[in-house]
């Protein structure tokens, strides 16, 4: 058990809809990262937060947004969903921002857009 | 930009065979290097890491050595088990600047009894 909790585990929704994925980092971790895993694109970095502030942005679509709350949990909002957004979305956390500390991953949320 | 290249899978071996999964990287400076493993239906688990040149990471019989001269971090195990069947990801992370993990494409490993 990594200590990172993601909910829900599965999500099935229709095109055009909006969903929210939630992540609780490991106790004491201040950084939260979101990744998208799809068959054709592999693991793609979306966005990073550190102690409530956005710190890095990757290949995140404008239809997607995220935030980290004062209690350090994070939410990833996906709107105007398309079939191609179907993927596994992972949250990860780490103690700080330094490159030596590893990321600890949750078990992911599997999103299916029909 | 930073990138990681892994040997293409899938890789299929018999139990007790020797395993090597190749990984090379391109990055500015000297990143930290990681191997993650993903079992079916689960998230990624850290397998091992190395933070500087010539460091050897090891865990559960797996080893990888940080080779700066060849920009490589190959994963090895002397005798694989059926339970090692999973997808393995090589990754790098810069010490400074953007600290995201950059992943390779993953290598699916299947071990037959």
Q: How many Cβ atoms are within 10 Å of B48's Cβ, its own excluded? A: 20
Percent of chain A with pLDDT over 90: 83
Please list every residue in chain B whose beta carbon sits closer than 8 Å to the beta carbon of residue A40.
Answer: none
Percent of chain A with pLDDT over 70: 97
- CA B60, CA B47: separation in Å to the nearest integer? 8
Each residue of A1-29: b (16+ CB within 10 Å) or e?
A: ebebebeeeebebeeeeebebebbbbeeb
Residues forming a β-bridge with A92: A33, A105
Q: How confident is the model at residue A36, as a pLDDT?
A: 96
Please list every residue in chain B whose beta carbon sits closer than 8 Å to the beta carbon of residue A98.
Answer: 95, 99
Q: How confident is the model at residue A54, as a pLDDT?
A: 93
Which two three-digit tokens encode residue B43?
């998230």
- Local structure of A27: helix, strand or coil: coil
Q: For all residues of chain B together, what is the average pLDDT?
A: 93
- Residue B98 confidence (pLDDT) above 60: no
Q: How confident is the model at residue A39, as a pLDDT?
A: 79
- Residue B83 confidence (pLDDT) above 90: yes
Please indicate if any CB of chain B lies within 8 Å of the CB of A45. Answer: yes
Please list every residue in chain A whose beta carbon sits closer than 8 Å to the beta carbon of residue B95.
Answer: 98-100
Please list every residue in chain B whose beta carbon sits closer than 8 Å to the beta carbon of residue A45.
Answer: 100-102
Q: Could you read off the pLDDT of A33-70 as tens digits, one per residue?
A: 999 998 777 899 999 999 999 999 998 999 999 999 99
- When mean pLDDT is compared across A5-14, A60-69, A89-98, B102-111, the lowest value belongs to A89-98
Inter-chain CB proximity A56 and B93 less than 8 Å = no
Of the candidates B79, B87, B78, B92, the one whose C-alpha atom is nearest the C-alpha of residue B109 is B87
Q: Is the bond preceding residue A8 a cis peptide, omega within 30 degrees? A: yes
Smallest CA–CA distance, residue A50 to chain B, in Å, is 11
State mean pLDDT over A28-34.
94
Asked if B85 contacts B99 with a C-beta cutoff of 8 angstroms, the reply is no
Q: For all residues of chain A together, what is the average pLDDT?
A: 93
Q: How confident is the model at residue A19, as a pLDDT?
A: 98
Asked if B5 contacts B24 with a C-beta cutoff of 8 angstroms, the reply is yes
Q: How confident is the model at residue A99, as a pLDDT?
A: 67
Q: How confident is the model at residue A57, as a pLDDT?
A: 92
Q: How confident is the model at residue B7, as a pLDDT?
A: 86
Residues forming a β-bridge with A7: A22
| Best mutation target, B39, B43, B93, B98, to test chain A (most A CBs within 10 A) | B43
What is the phi/psi pair of residue A77, to 5°? -105, 130
Q: How many Cβ atoms are within 10 Å of B41's Cβ, its own excluded? A: 9
Confidence bin at B66 (pLDDT 50/70/90) = very high
- CA B93, CA A85: separation in Å to the nearest integer? 26
Up-side HSE of residue A95: CA atoms within 13 Å toward CB?
Answer: 5
Q: Could you read off the pLDDT of B3-54 as tens digits, one per residue?
A: 999 988 899 999 999 999 999 999 888 899 999 999 988 889 999 999 999 9
């Amino acid at each position: 058990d990594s200590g990172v909790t993601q909910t829900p585990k599965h999500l099935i929704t229709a095109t055009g809809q909006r969903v929210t994925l939630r992540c609780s980092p490991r106790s004491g971790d201040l950084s939260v990262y979101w990744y998208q895993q799809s068959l054709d694109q592999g693991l793609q970095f979306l966005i990073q937060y550190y102690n409530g502030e956005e710190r890095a942005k990757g290949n995140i679509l404008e239809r997607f947004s995220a935030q980290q709350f004062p209690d350090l949990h994070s939410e990833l909002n996906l709107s105007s969903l398309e079939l191609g957004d179907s993927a596994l979305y992972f949250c990860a956390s780490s103690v700080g921002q330094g490159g030596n500390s590893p990321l600890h991953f949750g078990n992911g949320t599997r999103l299916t857009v029909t | 930009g930073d990138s990681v290249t892994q040997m293409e899978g899938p890789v299929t071996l018999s139990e007790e065979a020797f395993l090597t999964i190749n990984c090379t990287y391109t990055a500015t400076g000297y990143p930290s290097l990681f191997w993650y493993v993903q079992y079916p239906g689960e998230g990624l688990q850290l397998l091992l890491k190395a933070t500087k040149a010539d460091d050897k990471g090891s865990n559960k019989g797996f080893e990888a050595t940080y080779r700066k001269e060849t920009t490589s971090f190959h994963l090895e195990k002397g005798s694989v088990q059926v339970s090692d069947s999973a997808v393995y990801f090589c990754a790098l992370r810069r010490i400074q600047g953007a600290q995201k993990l950059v992943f390779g494409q993953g290598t699916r490993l299947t071990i037959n009894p």
